[in-house]
Amino acid sequence: MRFIAHRGNVAGPSNLENSPTQIDACLNESFDCEIDLWVQNGEFMLGHDFGEYVITKEWILQRQEGLWIHCKNSEALNSLRSLNSPILNYFWHQEDSYSLTSQNFIWVYPGIFVPPGGISVLPEKWIREERGKEICHGFGICSDYIMQFKEQFGE
């Protein structure tokens, strides 16, 4: 199972989410990391509601094996697509029940049934005892509390 830190959070929401230092700390702890990416005026930027932290294309490419990139605008989607990287894993979604990433993973909106091989997103917002096993057959979990889920479901 893959353990993906939502915006770099490992033990709960943080005011450092989506910051390059938080992302690097998360990757250094051997977690994958979901990031929110904007491209504005040709600049790559991290941030949820708007681009907040300027990064470079090289920064992304150096970390691409551990990143799950949520493109927040069409410029981000097109910019990543134009890189032609066979490793980059990126996607676009808003409130779609299911989105397919560029690496053919199923990104599942919180509270929606997780099919085998899917990524359960923010299960802490919807999980109940009777549905707890649902996330176990997925390919991965993306959570603000990923450390807790790794302790519960890790190898």
pLDDT band at 153 (very low <50, low <70, confident <90, very high): confident
Lowest mean pLDDT, pick from 15-29, 66-80, 139-153: 139-153
Model pTM? 0.93
Q: By C-alpha distance, which of 15, 76, 67, 68 is closest to 44?
A: 76
Query: Looking at the structure, do residues 109 and 124 belong to the same domain, yes or no?
Result: yes
Query: What is the count of structural domains for the chain?
Result: 2
Query: Looking at the structure, do residues 111 and 154 belong to the same domain, yes or no?
Result: yes
Distances from the Cα of 101 to the Cα of 21, 145, 149, angstroms: 25, 22, 22
- Greatest mean pLDDT range, 83-87, 123-127, 149-153: 83-87
Query: Looking at the structure, do residues 102 and 87 belong to the same domain, yes or no?
Result: no
pLDDT at 96 over 90: yes
Q: Is residue 5 part of a domain?
A: no
Q: Is residue 7 part of a domain?
A: no
Domain residue limits at 150? 95-155
Q: Is residue 31 part of a domain?
A: yes
Query: Looking at the structure, do residues 106 and 60 belong to the same domain, yes or no?
Result: no
